[in-house]
Structures are given as C-alpha cells and as structure tokens.
Structure 1
Amino acid sequence: MELNEKELEILAIMEKDARTSLENIAKMTQLSVEEVQDVIQKLEKENIIVHYTTLVNWSKVDSYHGVTAMIDVKVTPKRGVGFDAVAERIYRFKEVKSVYLMSGAYDLSVTVEGRSMNEISRFVSEKLSTLDSVVSTTTHFQLKKYKHDGIIYDQNNDDRRIVVSP
C-alpha cells in the first residue's frame, strides 16, 4: 500500500511513542485531530499498525526471574512453501516470542522466553529440534539488555548540559 507523506509522518511518531496524544500528533503534522484519527484507523484496518506494546525493563523488577534466548535455527525448506511452513510451526509454540527469516549462516532466528534456562533447554530439545525440517540449533542466552527497539536501558540521567558562566 502506498502511503502519503503525512501518513508516514504519523507512523514515525507513533513508532517512537505510541502513547503520543492525538492532539500532539495533530500539532506535529499540522493536521486536525479528526484527520489524525482517520489516518490511524485506516492504518490499523490495513494491518500496517499491527499492535501496540509496552517495553518493560524487567531487570528492575526483583521478583521477575524470566530468561530470554535467541536461537539460530538451520532448516530444510519444504517444497512449494519454502521456509514459511516451518516458521509457522515454530511461531505457534507459546514459548516463542518472535521468528525471523535470516540470510547468512542460519535460516531462522527465534526468540524464546521461559522461567529458567532449564525450561528453554527443554523447549529446544523436546519441541524445536524434533521438528522434521530442523537440521540444527544454536542457543544464545540473553544476559543483559542494553538497548531494545531504539530505547536505551539504564541510561544515566545526569544533567549533560554544559555549564556556561559569565
């Protein structure tokens, strides 16, 4: 679908912060609130805006003990459907948070979340690696998150302005 300049501008604003008010988006794009609302509804209907999410810094929550792993998966694509059928089988598992087709040394990049490393290792050995098309997996456990979706975690909020004195 071809989007005009204002629609692209609204998408960029919302991608940076989906909680930006309609009034602020209208001011930033020099459109009316109604026009902004119509554009957003159109983008949602066309499945261009797919979902609204919240980024959470779970490392700040003492009671949270979840684990995230990135798994490199080599697969044998299926005749007629390529990698799509294999990717669909993988993304249907509840543990899987994302699946991407990649170029390079492996075919799919799979992000998995679980309560422990043991839980993720069971997922890999009992569910993922047993799929017919899966040739091999390499699991990387996430130790610390520094930046995600353009947002820097644990940013030092010191005042970085230069002191100017007469």
Structure 2
Amino acid sequence: MKVERDKQRELLHILEENSRRSAETIATMLDTTVEDVRETITKLEKEKVIIKYPAIVNWEKVDADDLVTAMIDVKVTPKREVGFDDIAERIYRFPEVQSVYLMSGAYDLSVVIEGKTMRQVAQFVSEKLSALDSVISTTTHFILKKYKHDGVILEQPEDDKRMVVTP
C-alpha cells in the first residue's frame, strides 16, 4: 500500500463526504500522487472496505410515487451458536428491507423497510416479519419527514433577505 494508514483513513473520509472528487483533487488534498490514490482506492474496493458510491436523493422534490419508510424495532430469541446472525440474515433477504442493525437496549434488531403504502408495510410486518419463529415482538415507526440523511441536510432554511429596521 503506497498511501500510509493515516492518509488511507483520511482518503476514506474524503470519499465518504463526496465520492465524485477526482483522484487529482484527492491527491492534492492528501499531498500524495494520483497513482497512489488510484491504487489505494482499487485495493480498498477489492477488500470490500469501499462497498458502494451512493447518491443521496431528496425524494420529496421528485414527482414520483412516494414510498413509505418504516423503522421496526424487533425483539428476537437468539439461536445457539449463531446468536442474532441467522435471524438477521433471514430478515435482510426480504426485498422490502433496506437495512438491518443489531442494537443494544430495549430491542435486538432495527429494521428499515420501504413500501408503497402503510398497508403494504403493515402486511410485511404481520405476514412476513412477525411470522418468523425467532421473532418475539415488533414495534413499527413510520418516518413522516426526513431532515438529514447520511450526514446530509436535505433542506437548508432560506436566509431572511428582509432589511432589518430598528426604531
């Protein structure tokens, strides 16, 4: 690896903030060569450290069918020798499921799903998720509005352009 470990971490932060930056720009930011940046990125992609380069879309500004997003708290009974991994894998294989997280606290798994309607989400919970033998209980929370997603503020408030008048 040509880029030292501290610079590699900095490179990952740069890509996480804006993955569209050119190798030339990143090389300048890290005070290294373009070739070193490209080699390091290729290596990190092969090692699955860099998994994907997503765009963040504010879907509320797009004329499209709105999807309903829900966060579901799930209590489960872990299985001997595999713990929570087996049930988490069964859950994340459903196409509606966007994310699954192992949590500490009052529930075990946090599941994020998307559906076309609240009814479709409710059917997923009652017919698929709750039907799994390890699932003890679920609590569903519907997302009403997103203000910030993956570290990005979706709508910045506009500055008040009125002139201040004092008596």
So what's the TM-score if we normalise by structure 2?
Answer: 0.91
Q: 1-side partners of 2:20 and 2:159: how far apart? A: 25
Structural mapping, 1:1-166, within 5 Å = 4-158=5-159
Runs of 4+ in 1 over 6 A off after TM superposition: none
Query: Cα offset for 1:100?
Result: 0.2
Is 1:58–1:64's contact at 8 Å kept on the other side of the alignment?
no
Give identity over the alignment, percent.
63
- 1:41-81 Cα distance to aligned partner (Å, 9 max, x none): 11111111111111110011132311100000000001110
Query: Cα offset for 1:21?
Result: 1.0
Q: 2:165 — aligned with what?
A: none
Q: 1-side partners of 2:124 and 2:131: how far apart? A: 10
SS state at 1:74 partner: strand
Unmatched runs of 5 consecutive residues or more in structure 1: 161-166
Unmatched runs of 5 consecutive residues or more in structure 2: 162-167
SS state at 1:109 partner: strand
- 1:90-126 Cα distance to aligned partner (Å, 9 max, x none): 0000000000000000000000001111111110000
Is 1:70–1:110's contact at 8 Å kept on the other side of the alignment?
yes
Instruction: Count residues with an aligned counterpart.
Output: 158
Kindly provide the amino acid, as one letter, of the partner of residue 94 in structure 1.
P
Is 1:74–1:107's contact at 8 Å kept on the other side of the alignment?
yes
Kindly provide the amino acid, as one letter, of the partner of residue 112 in structure 2.
T
Q: 2-side partners of 1:42 and 1:62: how far apart? A: 39
SS state at 2:112 partner: strand
Query: Cα offset for 1:157?
Result: 4.8
Q: 1-side partners of 2:93 and 2:116: how far apart? A: 19
Q: 2-side partners of 1:102 and 1:4: how far apart? A: 30
Q: 1-side partners of 2:25 and 2:120: how far apart? A: 44
- After superposition, the Cα gap between the structure-2 partners of 1:62 and 1:45, relative to the gap in structure 1 and judged at 3 Å, is same
